[in-house]
Amino acid sequence: MTAAHLLHRQALVSPDSPAIFNGTTLVATHGQWAKRACAMAQQFRDSGMRPGDRVALFMRNHPRYLDVLLGAWWAGLAVVPINAKLHPDEAQWIIDDAQARWVFISSGVMGAGDSACSVATFSGVERQVDVDSIEDEVWWSNLDREVNPNAPGTASLAKPLDRQPDDLAWLFYTSGTTGRPKGVMITHRNLHTMSMGYYVDVDAVSRHDRIVYAAPMSHGNGLYAMPHLMAGAMHVVPPSGGFDADELFDLGFATGPLSLFAAPTIVNRIVACAERRGLSPDDCERAFKTIVYGGAPMYAADIERALNVMGPRFVQIYGQGETPMTGTVLARHHLTDRTHPRHRARLASIGVAQSSAQVRIADIDGLEVSAGQTGEVLVRGDSVMAGYWRNPEATAATIRDGWLWTGDMGSQDEDGFITLKDRSKDLIISGGSNIYPREVEEVLLQHPGVAEVAVVGEPHPEWGEAVVAFVVSRSIGHAQASELDDWCLTRIARFKRPKRYVFLEALPKNAYGKVLKRVLRDLAQGRSAPQ
């Protein structure tokens, strides 16, 4: 069963129930949504697309995102979600690697000139559809006319194509330590497991609920469409297509309480907005039902503040692209049980294993360590990816004996609560987005004025971490910070570029010539380098 079968069921049971909103404006009922997805699937088949072929979505949050997503699954295709903040060259690499045959784009993605009004053009695809262009609006209009969305009944609705549980559904590209992203193969079984786990561990959902897409739909936020689709709930895309705290509060007050997924930095902004507007916890309850946060742990002081300001609105999840939204959970009752003697320690944790996952802390040999000892976080279960796309070596290194080695280091207490300690990789998490230093370093090393470079993360009060580049200049063509910033902006996504450049005569290294990033992190934070 796929998500398209869930939509088909909702269209038969309650075709007139509201489904997709652009702000407060109803865009489609469940019956209309299903008809559009069905008609789009026919378009894919008529163009020669076969089950398992890939369709790329390089789009900002948009009501049409849900049309394309379900239309592709209706036809038995796999979707390739691409972060709309990426540079077009980065998106082109993903499209090529995934061998995507169609690509859908929106006006919110950048063209080659890095201008909001320019449009990216991709090679190697059979069809590129801009969901906002006048020309392609004709295609959408023809599709809607064929669907006749206002016609009553769904008796003639063709069923979605059947797929096997282990068939590819979602090919998500996550950055790797080599600087090139890896395609994470997420199956229909993985998505179904995640969706059922949402009900058990995260939140109950009814047809009266509304999920709002403020975080990128290309990531875990978009996957949460599935558990809400199961329940026949409503899907709200904010008019801005992104995050604006005031807009979300206003939407919630106008339509009814919203549920959403957010990175900790977004949670902090929502809380700050509530404080600025003088809202009480009861006011916040009218605007928000559930705020699921993840992507990085929140500081205990931040979640305490959030609970005080907004009340029991929060649930934390821990997962990765390789086990989407499924790993551990810090439930609402865990967060609000202030009488527990270890309540504050639990606030700083990532919670306990979700019902559909086994989680353990292991040493380098895969042996489970004792409570309180630090090791690597391992996850096993039906949520874990099938592997990396066309990369068996990386798959074998990451999945061993059925266990996903996450690369995150942590410890587990006697009650099963896990606290992250560090990451075995040099991953930087800024605003909930993963940034790998190697990728940024490779770009900077292409600049003629850069001899050596090392990139680390430093704590940031709003974003969690900020990117800092330590640069050794060449004797000729000395690089300036402004030059390097411009250099990065033309080659990688804006959010990956360093926020600060520090120029050194030499990088600190050990006897084997390896750069000591531990020393650089100390320097970034103004601490003296250890002797």
Mean pLDDT value across the chain: 90
Q: What is the pLDDT of residues 341-354, one digit of tens each?
A: 999 899 989 999 99
Kind of pairing, strands 500-503 and 418-423? unpaired
The whole-number average pLDDT for the span 185-209 is 97
Q: What is the pLDDT of residue 190?
A: 98
Topology of 428-524 in CATH? GMP Synthetase; Chain A, domain 3 (3.30.300)
- DSSP characters over 120-167: ---SS-SEEEETT-HHHHHHHHHHHHHH-TTS---TTPPPPPP--TTS
Q: Where are the beta strands (DSSP E) in 309-402?
A: 314-320, 323-330, 352-353, 357-362, 374-381, 387-388, 399-400
Summarize the confidence of residues 312-317 as an average pLDDT: 98
pLDDT for the residue numbered 424: 61
DSSP string computed for 414-436: TTS-EEEEEESS--EEETTEEE-
Distance CA 170, CA 195 (A): 14
What's the token pair of residue 65? Answer: 């995102």
Instruction: Report the interhelical angle of 264-276 vs 300-310 (nearest 10°).
Output: 40
The predicted pLDDT at position 433 comes to 84
Q: In the numeric block, which tokens belong to residue 415?
A: 């009650």
**How far is residue 277 from each of residues 245, 256, 287, 313, 526, measured CA to CA in Å?**
11, 18, 13, 18, 36
Identify the band that residue 145 occupies on the pLDDT scale cut at 50, 70 and 90: low
CA distance 358 to 318: 13
Mean pLDDT value across residues 405-410: 91
State whether the Cα torsion 130-134-139-141 is positive or negative: positive
Over residues 510-530, the pLDDT tens digits come to 654 668 888 999 898 886 544
Residue located via tokens 């995640």: 194
| pLDDT tens-digit series, residues 452-484 | 899 999 999 888 899 999 999 987 557 889 999
Where are the chain's structural domains?
A: 1-13+29-163, 314-423, 428-524
Sorting pLDDT into bands at 50, 70 and 90, what band is 116? Answer: very low
- For residue 175, what are its two tokens? 């950055």
**pLDDT surpassing 90 at residue 170:** yes
Q: Which CATH number fits domain 314-423: 2.40.40.20, 2.30.38.10, 2.40.30.110, 1.10.8.80?
A: 2.30.38.10
Question: What phi and psi, each to the nearest 5 degrees, are found at residue 512?
Answer: -95, 5
Q: What is the dihedral of CA 366, 369, 374, 375, to 10 degrees?
A: 10
Is the pLDDT at 256 greater than 60? The verdict is yes
Q: Give the range among 27-36, 105-114, 352-361, 482-491 with minimum mean pLDDT.
A: 105-114
Assign 156 a pLDDT band (cuts: 50, 70, 90): low
* CATH superfamily of the 1-13+29-163 domain: ANL, N-terminal domain (3.40.50.12780)
Q: Would you place residue 8 in the very low, low, confident or very high pLDDT band (cuts 50, 70, 90)?
A: very high
Q: Give the pLDDT band of residue 432 (cuts 50, 70, 90).
A: confident
Asked if 506 contacts 500 with a C-beta cutoff of 8 angstroms, the reply is no
Max Cα–Cα distance, the chain, nearest Å: 76
pLDDT band at 298 (very low <50, low <70, confident <90, very high): confident
